[in-house]
Amino acid sequence: MLLRNQLYAGIVDVPEYGVRDKRGDFEPLISEDLFYRVQAILSGRVPSTAPGKRAHPDFSLRGFVRCESCGRGLTGSWSKGRNEYYAYYHCRPGCRAVNVTKAKLEGLFADELALLQPTPGYMRLLKESVLQIWKARKAAVRDEVANAERAAKAIQDKLDRLDEAFLFERSIDIETYDRHAEKLREELTLVRIRTGLQLLASD
Residues near Zn ion, by CB under 5 A: 67, 69-70, 91, 95, 97
What is the CB-side half-sphere exposure of residue 28 using CA atoms within 13 A?
A: 11
Q: Closer to Zn ion at the Cβ: 31 or 195?
A: 31
Comparing CB distances to Zn ion, the nearer of 100 and 190 is 100
Measured from the CB of residue 134, what is the shortest distance to Zn ion in angstroms? 49
Residues 40 and 3: their CA atoms lie apart, in Å, by 16
Q: Residue 101: phi, psi to the nearest 5?
A: -70, 150
CB 90 within 8 A of CB 120: no
User: What value, to the nearest 5°, has the Cα angle with vertex 113 and ends 110 and 116?
Assistant: 160
Q: Are 40 and 116 in contact (CB under 8 A)?
A: no
Q: How far apart are CA 168 and CA 160, in angstroms?
A: 11
Q: How far is the CB of 126 from Zn ion (least distance, A)?
A: 38
Q: Closest separation between CB of residue 11 and Zn ion, Å? A: 29
- Cβ-based nearer residue to Zn ion, 91 or 162: 91
Question: Closest approach of Cβ 74 to Zn ion, in Å?
Answer: 8
Task: State the minimum distance, in angstroms, from the CB of residue 133 to Zn ion.
Answer: 45
Nearer to Zn ion, 69 or 79 (CB): 69
Helix (H) or strand (E) holding 148: helix 120-163
Find the shortest distance in angstroms from Cβ 71 to Zn ion. Answer: 7
E strand residue ranges, the chain? 11-14, 19-23, 75-80, 85-90, 99-101
Contact 12, 126 (CB under 8 A): yes
**Residue closer to Zn ion (CB basis): 97 or 197:** 97
E strand or H helix at 198, and its extent? Answer: helix 174-202
Which is nearer to Zn ion, 95 or 123 (by Cβ)? 95
